[in-house]
Chains A and B, each alone.
Chain A
């Protein structure tokens, strides 16, 4: 399975062991910074449907990463955490990735409250590259999910409320899903 354009997705980040079935879409958040080809091969062989590479990595690494993702038929995701202008990175690449992740880091969210998720960049990027899907990470409330979808994001990443799963987790997922219909 690869991601379809025109559909919206909710990405739940797990840091625990999870049982999965064949129709599951698994993203390996390997945040590749170097040795793009080797990491993609490792993740694809393990069964990932997509892998991530850092936007701050050397351009050579990102190019290798995207090439290798195509070779292994998995989606390439470039994580733009701490990149001020993602368009500048995209312009330097030989090929564009399948997905761009606009990301406020966990540490940034905790220690620097004024740092905002750059929703305005969603349309900027989609305006220049209409084939790219946009994923938004770093907001964990229902309100933030709504805002991401309203601003035309394709994937919304949540983890904090799923990190320690409990009886409420299923309800929470349902509630999030309502927002991405």
Chain B
């Protein structure tokens, strides 16, 4: 699939949670190598670890494998998130806190010793069948208003419309997977189309 993607530094490659569970650090390393061949030093790989415990050791393993960023669950113990952010800084990779299943991300951010680089606002894949759950676009400007330096990533929307709405609402990153996963042959066309809205 990486072969089919256009070589753009605007594309971030995510090693998804099931992917990491299946292929581990070697998998992350392979993605890094393949994507680097295509875009050079600007290649950016997110290890979607969804850390829940042992913040330190998981970050170390992902960074060693070549990840540029890693994720930690906002629902993890505060001690784990603090340790995760600290270890990300020590390893020179970006820290992403995934706010899946959290009604008020603010309450988590306020309790942290240091802010993460990126906050992921997330409607889970399993939650997508529950139509009453919306992607919380209104949180983007609220979080940016309170913490100017944080980048916001939005996950859980899959259509061009969702992605356009994400950037219109001031998000910095839009995460998509299902449309690629379900139509691998369409990868190149889909990516071009999504990139248009990320201009």
Contacts and interface: CB of A to CB of B under 8 A. Distances in A.
B124 A82 contact: no
A128 to B, nearest CB: 23
15 contacts: A30-B21, A33-B52, A33-B73, A34-B17, A35-B17, A35-B125, A38-B18, A39-B18, A39-B21, A54-B52, A58-B101, A61-B126, A61-B127, A107-B55, A108-B53
Contacts of B82: 111
A60 B18 contact: no
Contact of A60 (B56, B76, B77, B129): B129
Interface of A: 30-31, 33-36, 38-39, 42, 54, 56-58, 60-61, 64, 81-82, 105-108, 110-112
Interface residues of B, number: 26
B126 A34 contact: yes
A34 B79 contact: no
B53 A33 contact: no
Interface in B126-144: 126-127, 129-130
A57 B79 contact: no
A82 B75 contact: yes
Contact of A107 (B21, B83, B126): B83
B21 A42 contact: yes
Given A35-B18, A42-B22, A82-B76, A60 B83 contact: no
A45 to B, nearest CB: 10
Given A39-B18, A81-B53, A34 B100 contact: yes
B32 interface: no
B126 A60 contact: yes
B79 A111 contact: yes
Interface string B80-119: 1011000000000000000011000000000000000000
